[in-house]
Amino acid sequence: MFVSKKMTWWAWVALALALFFAVFPIFWIVSTAFKPSTEWVAIPPVWISGQPTLDNFSAVFISQAGAAETAATAVSETGWRAIFGSIIISICATALSISVGLAASLAISRYRFGGNSTPLMILSGRMFPPIAIAIPFLVMFNSIGLIDTYLGLILCYAAFTLPFSVWMIKSFIDDLPQEIEEAAMLDGLSRVQAHIRFTIPLIRGGLISTSLFIFILNWSEFLFGLVLTAKDVVTIPVQLSKYFAATAGQLYGVQAALAVVAVLPLVVIGYFIQTHLVRGLTFGAVKR
Amino acid sequence: MTKLQIKDLRKTYGAFTAVEGLDLSIEQGETVALLGPSGCGKSTTLNMIVGLTDPSSGDIRIDGRSMLGVPPGKRGIGLVFQDYAVFGNMTVRENLSFGLKVRRMTKRDIAKEVEKTADLMGLSNSLDSPTSVMGGSQLQRVALGRTLVTNPSILLLDEPLSNLEAAMRNEMRQELRRIQKQTGQTVIYVTHDQIEALSLAHRIAVMDRGRLVHYGDTHEVYHFPKETFVGGFLGDPPMNFLPGTVQASQTGHRVDIGCATIDVEATPLGLSLQSGSKVTLGVRPESIDLLDVGATDLGAEILLIEQLGADTIVTLLLGTHELKLRSTQNVSHHIGDRCSLCFHPGMVSLFDAETGVKLMASPVSKEIAA
């Protein structure tokens, strides 16, 4: 494609606007995380704090019981439990979603299971507003004792991200010529062996990018985490909403600090697997 | 010796019949082309032979042993796919040795066989190249080599040349012929390209809408098709068809095509034709001679003359019917000229006007002559 080296002024304006919308909230969160409580909602706004502090982070990581009473120390609980909960739930739910999604996509793509209607049926759960699904989940989970358990959230998250795994993985499998598996079968492998030796390794890039996508969905999910938990289990997004003190209102600085901590693993993973990500997302993993 | 025997093979998908009552037998060392338009059931047939699709009924026997229920890897069949299906995550050497590894051959034997096959396929220099960077004809060689290395008792090729450019296609066609000669492989070649079928195969099986329409040697299938479909599908330009009515005469039969009558007595009748029955008369473009006006009763007008290098294709108007004629000689006539035609004796086929099935044709006379 021919791209002009010279950008016109309106292209610059459009790009600057888009960048502003994308980057400013991130900047604001990072900036707030280092602000003392007096600057959180100061008017006029403080863009970058003159007296940067790590108080917000220590409120997230270190118990503040007995510390001098400030807005930041008003938090009742550190973020550790939420971080642990998010890690366990996101990893397990992603693994479950991808495993089931892979099996389902193979069934749909290679064995034409259920004809053309199955993929759409799988997607139908996503057509409702999440809150409409959350209520029946709550009722069901309540009756089988899954409320406020890790298992409950793992199952719920896996079920809720499954449509994405199925549709994404299915598109990668569809792109892979079926003849590769047939050739392997002619060489003496069984159907399942052919999938394990060829189908799965050949869509590896796609599986990795799908996993990351699903992981991000799970990591940042809020509604189900809020509705289906009580006091034992908490995830980062839910914990963020809990950083609220009767004396100080919303603890924006502490929330920002936990948010910064929460985004780090995604940035790191994203950086290391970006080659896979690009290959996976361009759907060019297989040469025909 | 019969290598492959297919008996009353049938495949249906719900109400749709993909393959209907197919009978076919292939001899050891023979190359048979499965020819037909898209959707005629040739790929389904191939998949059933290989074992990737289970037949609805019927039997497939290789060396006399029924293959029903035998998994693809255990049939001793090699298949080269249209899209090559080369393992893109492996080098050429890994591709070639994969099937042997699965068969648990020793490392030394694998290396030996791979070298031998690479040599045959002209891949010796690129054994360690990744296949992901290779082009069409190279991938084709890898795919063929990967199949040949396992020494299959039958080699199936599914439209192996359709993804190549014209020049490459000719080269690979010669290559395939050479390899077949060298290895003495039994080959089943699936194609919709008649040139490939005619040039590579000993026998051709023409399929149409799930049926085997004609199975015979290339000469017979080309010149004396069993149905109008075969005559129309094979040949470029295809066989000419003229609707007519049978007239009994003392010497044999004549066919009235409206503007003239054509003697068919040169071909003794295996069937007695009812006088007045409707028939379709078929004649190949190269079985018609172009003569000066008045030389025969068949007067025609020249509509178009196409010079195609060695050949000339002449489009004629005979009565109300358009005909194509192929001549290897220089045509001295001009567009718009009147001329006379002569159909080569013994090269005219008669088909039932309704069903398109051959009523009688020259193989009868050929057999009698022989």
> CATH 3.40.50.300 residue ranges in chain B?
2-223
Given this model, what pLDDT does residue A27 score? 92
CB contacts of B102 in chain A (<8 Å) are 187-189
ipTM of the complex: 0.70
Instruction: Tell me: cis bond preceding A44? Omega within 30 of 0 counts.
Output: yes
Closest CB from A179, A188, A190 relative to B85: A179
* CA B97, B102, B108, B113 torsion-angle sign: negative
Given this model, what pLDDT does residue B364 score? 37
Q: Does A190 touch chain B (CB under 8 A)?
A: yes
A29 vs A283, residue with greater confidence = A29
Given this model, what pLDDT does residue B271 score? 56
Domain contains A170:
yes
Question: If you ran DSSP here, which 8-state letter would residue A197 be given?
Answer: I
Contact B230, B206 (CB under 8 A): yes
C-alpha distances (whole Å) from A171 to each of A106, A110, A119, A167, B126 are 10, 12, 11, 6, 33
Given this model, what pLDDT does residue A149 score? 94
Distant-in-sequence, close-in-space partners of A71: CB < 8 Å, separation ≥ 6: A37, A40, A245, A247, A248, A251, A253
Determine how many CB atoms are found less than 10 A away from the CB of residue B173.
18
> CATH 2.40.50.140 residue ranges in chain B?
238-369
Question: Taking 90 as the threshold, does the pLDDT of residue A103 lie above it?
Answer: yes
Domain contains A198:
yes
Segments forming the whole domain that contains residue A144: 80-239+261-281
Number of continuous H segments (helices) and E segments (strands) in chain B: 9, 21
Residue of A nearest to B83 (CA): A288
Position B278 confidence tier, pLDDT thresholds 50, 70, 90: confident
Given this model, what pLDDT does residue A85 score? 93
For B5, list phi and psi in degrees, rounded to 5.
-125, 125
Between helices B107-121 and B166-183, what is the axis angle to 10°? 130
DSSP-H helix ranges across B264-320: none
DSSP states of A28-74: HHHHHHTS-GGGTT-SSPPSS-SS--SHHHHHHHS--TTS---SGGG
- pLDDT tens across B62-119, in order? 998 999 988 888 888 888 888 888 887 788 888 888 888 888 888 888 888 888 888 8
Q: How far is CA B23 from the centre of its chain?
A: 16
Given this model, what pLDDT does residue A29 score? 92
- pLDDT tens across B161-215, in order? 877 777 778 888 888 888 888 888 899 989 888 888 888 899 999 999 999 999 9
CB contacts of B89 in chain A (<8 Å) are 198, 201-202
Closest CB from A186, A201, A288 relative to B73: A186
Residue of B nearest to A187 (CA): B99
Helix (H, G, I), strand (E, B) or coil at A250: strand
* CATH fold group of domain B2-223: Rossmann fold (3.40.50)
Question: Taking 60 as the threshold, does the pLDDT of residue B9 lie above it?
Answer: yes
CB contacts of B77 in chain A (<8 Å) are 186
- pLDDT tens across B293-322, in order? 887 888 889 999 998 888 899 999 988 889
Given this model, what pLDDT does residue B256 score? 84
The mean pLDDT of A280-285, rounded to a whole number, is 48
CB contact under 8 A, B150 and A187: yes
CB contact under 8 A, B79 and A201: no
pLDDT > 70 fraction of chain A, expressed in percent and rounded: 87
Query: From the candidates B48, B82, B98, which should be mutated to test the interface with A, based on the most A CB atoms within 10 A?
Result: B98
Question: Taking 50 as the threshold, does the pLDDT of residue B14 lie above it?
Answer: yes
Given this model, what pLDDT does residue B274 score? 72
The pTM (predicted TM-score) of the whole model is 0.73
The mean pLDDT of A31-54, rounded to a whole number, is 86
Domain contains A72:
no
Question: Taking 90 as the threshold, does the pLDDT of residue B135 lie above it?
Answer: no
Chain A window 258-287: which residues touch B at a Cβ cutoff of 8 Å? 286-287
Given this model, what pLDDT does residue A288 score? 39
Question: Taking 70 as the threshold, does the pLDDT of residue B252 lie above it?
Answer: no
CATH superfamily, domain B238-369, is: Nucleic acid-binding proteins (2.40.50.140)
Domain contains A171:
yes
Residue A98 maps to which CATH number?
Answer: 1.10.3720.10
Interface of B with A (CB under 8 A): 50, 52, 71-74, 77-79, 81-85, 87-89, 98-99, 102-103, 132, 146-147, 150
Contact A184, A116 (CB under 8 A): no
Q: Are strands B261-263 and B253-256 parallel, antiparallel or unpaired?
A: antiparallel
Structure token pair of residue A249: 């209102």
Give the amino acid at A260: V
Question: Taking 90 as the threshold, does the pLDDT of residue A97 lie above it?
Answer: yes
Count of domains observed in chain A:
1
Domain contains A201:
yes
